Amino acid sequence: MTNTERKTSGFGINQIIPIVAAVMSIAFIWLGLNKYGFWHSAKGPMPGFFPVVISVAMLFASILAFVFSFKEEAPVFPVANWLVPLSVACIIGATFLIGLIPSVAVYVLVWLKAYEKCTWKTTLITFAAIMAVVIGCFVLWLGVPFPKGLIYNALFS
């Protein structure tokens, strides 16, 4: 057992995943059979055919996974790890306001200087390298039209 894992003491993520999977598979089976159709006597398999077959298999697998889950160790999710998804969520939100490129630029600077406590030299070199790739390859060369955000559009459109 590693230092990030411990024995399960009750209901947790090991049980939640199979339950969510089972609910989803039931929903997909219901939609497949009632909305999209399973089999037509003349046309053969309908759009719901393949997803329903897969969902039935998933339902059985999720029941088995739920039964076995009580013998499994529960994983631990260190809080610090969630900072990465949190920062990406902030970038997605900020993109609508200031655009994608400025959002990732601010993220890199804040992450390196404020969170990692890097020196200004390291921060600026890393920042310059990332922005060179993003702007040089994706913006200038490939011409990817990154979103510019509400503020830019309000000022310049």
Partner 1 sequence: MENIELLLQGFAVLFTFQNILATILGAVLGLIIGAMPGIGSLAGVALLLPLTYKFNPTTAIIMLGSLYYANMYGGAFSAILLNIPGDSPAVMTSLDGYPMATVKKRPGQALLTSNLSSFIGGLIGMIILTFTGPALANVGLKFGPAEMTALLLVAMTSIGWLVGENPTRGVLLTMFVIMLASMGMDTLSGSPRYDFGSIYLLGGIPFTPFVIGIVGFAQVIKLMEDRNIQTKAAAEKLTIRGSMITRHDFRRLLPPALRSGFLGTFVGVLPGAGATTAAFLGYATQKSFKSEEPLGTGAIEGIAACEAANNGAAAGAFAPLLALGIPGSGTGAVLLGGLMMWGLNPGPLLFVNEPDFAWGLIASLFLANLITLAIAWGVIPFLIKILSVPTKLLIPCITVVCIVGSYSTSNSMYGVLVMFLSGILGYVMQKSRYATPPVLLAFVLAPLLESNMRKAFIISRGSLNIFFAKPISLVLMIALFAILLFPVVRPALVKAGLIKIKEPKS
Binding residues vs partner 1 (CB under 8 A): 4, 13-14, 17-18, 21, 24-25, 28, 31, 36, 39, 42-45, 47-51, 54-55, 57-58, 61-62, 64-65, 68, 72, 75-78, 80-85, 87-89, 91-92, 95, 100, 104, 107-108, 111-112, 116, 118, 122, 126, 129-130, 133-134, 137-138, 142-147
CB of 118 to partner 1, least distance (A): 7
Report the alpha-carbon angle 148-150-155, nearest 5.
Answer: 90
Indicate the residue among 2 and 155 with the shorter CB distance to partner 1. 2
91 or 157: CB nearest partner 1: 91
Which of 139, 64, 51, 57 has its CA nearest to residue 102? 139
Shortest Cβ 9–partner 1 spacing (Å): 16
Least separation in angstroms between residue 47's CB and partner 1 is 4
Residues 25 and 33: their CA atoms lie apart, in Å, by 12
Q: How far apart are CA 7 and CA 27, in angstroms?
A: 32
Specify the residue, 62 or 156, whose C-beta has the smaller distance to partner 1.
Answer: 62
Distance CA(16)–CA(8), nearest Å, equals 13
Q: Which is nearer to partner 1, 144 or 151 (CB)?
A: 144
Contacts 24+ apart (CB under 8 A), 146-149: 146/99, 146/100, 146/101, 147/95, 147/96, 147/99, 147/100, 148/99, 149/94, 149/95, 149/96, 149/97, 149/98, 149/99, 149/100, 149/102
Instruction: Give the angle 74-87-127 at the CA atoms, nearest 5°.
Output: 125
* Of 10 and 44, CB closest to partner 1: 44
Measured from the CB of residue 11, what is the shortest distance to partner 1 in angstroms?
A: 14
Supply the minimum distance, in Å, between the C-beta of residue 152 and partner 1: 15
